Amino acid sequence: MRYVKHSLIWWRTALAAEVFVIVCLSGCATRTVLVPPGEPVRLRETVRQAKVWVADKDGKEIPGVVDLPEGWYVLPDPGPEPRPEKTADGQGRK
């Protein structure tokens, strides 16, 4: 009888610990959402001092720092623009 009581206490303790772990892990996990490449996303909070590339008066890209306000949509860099191919006579293809 003594061992049965001890086993019952151990089983209840183990059950309580398992329930505690399940409750803690279910609410504390970080959720990751994958956004397809090229899709815009909306900022949930202001991003301070974001490092960006901006064009100067000659069109040359230079580094800059800016605050991106909450609610703005941001897009990834589309990459370099395609350059027209040169033909034998020096003209670009159309």
3-state secondary structure of 4: helix
How do the domains of the chain map onto residue ranges?
A: 2-25+41-73
Q: What is the helix (H) or strand (E) element at residue 10, kind and residue range?
A: helix 2-28
Confidence (pTM): 0.45
Residue given tokens 């589309």 in the structure block: 78
pLDDT, tens digit (0-9, with 9 covering 90-100), for 53-78: 888 999 899 999 999 999 999 988 77
Q: Which pair of structure tokens corresponds to residue 84?
A: 């027209």
% of the chain residues with pLDDT over 90: 30
